[in-house]
């Protein structure tokens, strides 16, 4: 493979500082970055720091004749394999969506013959505004791919979607682009939909195991991480079959959802969704169920407390991992642990027979919370990912799955 090179357009937003980290992460993957810094972007990061990290000249003005003599703006836009806009502000998105070319950044976006990837960053109201959503739809229709934005607290003090995706997630999207370059044609070749044509089964949420018509055993799983993973896999083009226990979350767009209650129902729905190229078991399946479900509500009696005998539930992950004609090529399990996280995860990998375990430390506020810190445990070793919003963890995992199935 020849030298890998991207053109990074740094727009004007607080998130611009994260783009410096992105350059560093890409360099570690042997991807060279050449940067265009917009006038607004230069209010947040200096050309000097960006230039030091890219080890290259930072391009800024459209009418700099010296620049034009050294490298015309057309050439600048075409020398890279991929154009990445991070942060992509509401203004940059609007100008790009409308084909404006009133500075170097938008001129490069208009002149390029290479795929474009954007990592939006803006205030939540600006993101949700009809005008931005219109521009987003237009850019997508034009073939631009998107990473993020993430949900979370914003620099402006508000909360919601609009935070730029973490640099690691953007790096993963760039690496997925390289992994899938040359596969298929058109949009697929841009790396936008590397999971096109793949079916992926995802389990999420808790299961509930009835004791009687009004009571049940369950756990605190919110389903957020599993739903986020299903959504990210769908964004990459996968035919996602999400089997979900009872959670208060809407169906992610483009995902086929089967809602179930018990572990037995979840297993049945999973088996009905096979064959699949990959399975991602995120559900917190109840390990036990009451051996018998009372047909009528149990009543308080003077004779003592009701004894509930438990029976073991089927292990869905182990069942899906068992060798056989329907075994997905890649089976991913989750391990929620409060201590000795990696050791337990490694043991679980062997015991369940799956290919990867995503180990997360739930000793803090992970259950029901919006952030997650995970380590990916495989036969080959352990990869620790930094604490990130569940959406960013999901995006990174989706790209890792796309790369593994490539």
Site for ligand CTP, rule CB under 6 A:
203, 263, 281-283, 285, 287, 313, 315-317, 333-336, 348
Phi, then psi, of 356 in degrees rounded to 5: -130, 145
Of 366, 380, 370, 376, give the one whose Cα is nearest residue 400. 376
Strands 371-372 and 310-312 turn out to be unpaired
CB 174 within 8 A of CB 32: no
Question: Minimum Å distance from CB 329 to ligand CTP?
Answer: 17
Pick 315 or 355: Cβ nearer ligand CTP: 315
* List 156, 270, 281, 354, catalytic entry: 156
> In this complex, which beta carbon is closest to ligand CTP, that of residue 41 or of residue 206?
206
Nearest Cα neighbor of 127 from 88, 96, 101, 100 is: 88
Helix-strand-coil split of the chain, %, nearest 5: 35, 25, 40
And the tokens for 346? 């490694």
Tokens at 38, concatenated: 């917009």
- Please, which residue, 216 or 334, has the CB nearer to ligand CTP? 334
Residues in contact with 267: Cβ distance below 8 Å, sequence separation at least 6, in sequence order? 314, 316, 319
Closer Cβ to ligand CTP, 162 or 223, answer by number:
223
88 or 282: whose CB is closer to ligand CTP? 282
Q: Cβ neighbours of residue 57 under 8 Å, at least 6 residues apart? A: 34, 51, 67, 70
Nearest-approach distance from CB 316 to ligand CTP, in angstroms:
3
Least gap, CB of 334 to ligand CTP (angstroms):
4
Tokens 């890279």 found at: 80
Determine contact, residues 89/40, Cβ cutoff 8 Å.
Answer: yes
- The answer to whether 156 is a known catalytic residue is yes
Smallest distance, ligand CTP to C-beta of residue 362, A = 9
Rounded to the nearest whole angstrom, what is the least distance from the CB of residue 287 to ligand CTP in the complex? 5
Just list the catalytic residues: 156
């Amino acid at each position: 493979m020849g030298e890998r090179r991207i053109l990074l357009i740094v727009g004007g937003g607080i998130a611009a500082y994260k783009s410096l980290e992105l350059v560093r992460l890409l360099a570690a993957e042997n991807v060279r970055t050449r940067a265009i810094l917009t006038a607004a972007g230069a209010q947040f990061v200096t050309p000097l720091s960006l230039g030091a990290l890219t080890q290259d000249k930072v391009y800024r003005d459209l009418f700099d004749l010296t620049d034009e003599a050294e490298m015309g703006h057309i050439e600048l836009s075409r020398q890279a394999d991929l154009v990445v806009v991070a942060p992509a502000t509401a203004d940059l998105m609007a100008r790009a969506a409308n084909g404006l070319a009133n500075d170097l950044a938008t001129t490069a976006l208009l002149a390029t013959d290479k795929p474009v990837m954007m990592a939006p960053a803006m205030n939540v109201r600006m993101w949700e505004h009809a005008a931005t959503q219109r521009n987003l739809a237009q850019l997508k229709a034009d073939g631009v791919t998107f990473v993020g934005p993430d949900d979370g607290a914003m620099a402006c003090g508000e909360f919601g979607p609009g935070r730029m995706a973490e640099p690691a997630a953007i790096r993963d999207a760039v690496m997925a682009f390289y992994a899938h370059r040359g596969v298929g044609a058109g949009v697929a070749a841009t790396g936008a939909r590397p999971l096109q044509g793949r079916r992926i089964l995802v389990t999420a949420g808790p299961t509930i195991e009835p004791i009687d018509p009004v009571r049940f055993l369950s756990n605190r799983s919110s389903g957020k991480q599993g739903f986020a993973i299903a959504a990210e896999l769908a964004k990459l083009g996968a035919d996602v079959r999400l089997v979900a226990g009872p959670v208060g979350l809407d169906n992610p767009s483009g995902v086929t959802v089967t809602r179930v209650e018990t572990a037995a129902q979840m297993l049945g729905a999973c088996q009905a969704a096979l064959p699949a190229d990959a399975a991602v078991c995120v559900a917190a399946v109840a390990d036990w169920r009451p051996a018998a479900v009372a047909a009528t509500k149990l009543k308080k009696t003077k004779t003592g407390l009701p004894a509930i005998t438990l029976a073991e539930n089927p292990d869905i992950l182990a069942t899906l991992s068992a060798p056989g004609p329907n075994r997905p090529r890649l089976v991913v399990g989750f391990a929620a642990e409060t201590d000795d996280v990696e050791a337990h995860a490694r043991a679980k990998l062997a015991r369940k027979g799956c290919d990867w375990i995503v180990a997360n430390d739930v000793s803090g506020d992970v259950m029901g919370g919006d952030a997650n810190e995970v380590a990916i445990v495989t036969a080959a070793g352990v990869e620790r990912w930094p604490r990130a919003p569940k959406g960013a963890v999901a995006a990174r995992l989706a790209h890792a799955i796309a790369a593994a199935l490539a």
